[in-house]
Amino acid sequence: MNIHTYEKLWLAAAMVLIVGFIATITYGSVGVGVAMIDDSEATLDPNDLGEDERFAEPRVEHVGDNEYEAYVVARQFIFQPNPIEVPAGSTVTFYVTSADVIHSFSIVGTNANTMVIPGEVATMTVEIDEPGEYGILCNEYCGAGHHDMEGLLIVHPEDEFDLEGEE
């Protein structure tokens, strides 16, 4: 069988594309720094967040030198706590869950953006460098008050920050 040179070239190009697509998909699911939502973590009851030790009191906790954990509850049509306050130069891990329907937790001007699903905990670690005020928005339509659902992240200059209740 005689295959024309151009046809061979097209065949080779198609193979390269197919391998490229497979590589892209593979990287997108198991590549360095790529995290998928998994279902290994226990779910929680969105109607009973008051009984959950992480979310009964939405708050920011100081867990290490420059490390903070924020436990955030999204509900129609607010974020708790509000505002969320942390110092500049810190690493903050946000744990976000919903008390009712699907929301999102999106920090304006950053790439921090996650869906918030009732029963699930979205986890996101963010390096916070610059002092300032950042809006927090809900990007998932969640009901009549969706467009008013917003929060505030206040990043204080490092030397002026004092987490309430800390000695």
Residues that bind ligand CUA (CB under 6 A): 77, 103, 138, 140-142, 146, 149
**CB-count exposure of residue 32 (10 Å: 0-12, 13-18, 19+):** exposed
Smallest gap from Cβ 41 to ligand CUA, in A, equals: 22
Smallest gap from Cβ 80 to ligand CUA, in A, equals: 12
Distances in Å between the Cα of 48 and the Cα atoms of 52, 76, 123 are 7, 16, 20
Task: State which residue, 52 or 100, has the beta carbon closest to ligand CUA.
Answer: 100
Task: State which residue, 115 or 154, has the beta carbon closest to ligand CUA.
Answer: 115
Smallest gap from Cβ 124 to ligand CUA, in A, equals: 17
- Tell me phi and psi for residue 12, to 5 degrees: -65, -45
Smallest gap from Cβ 118 to ligand CUA, in A, equals: 11
Task: State which residue, 31 or 145, has the beta carbon closest to ligand CUA.
Answer: 145
Task: State which residue, 83 or 131, has the beta carbon closest to ligand CUA.
Answer: 83
Identify the helix (H) or strand (E) that includes residue 15. helix 5-30
The C-alpha atoms of residue 92 and residue 83 are separated, in whole angstroms, by: 14
The C-alpha atoms of residue 150 and residue 87 are separated, in whole angstroms, by: 21
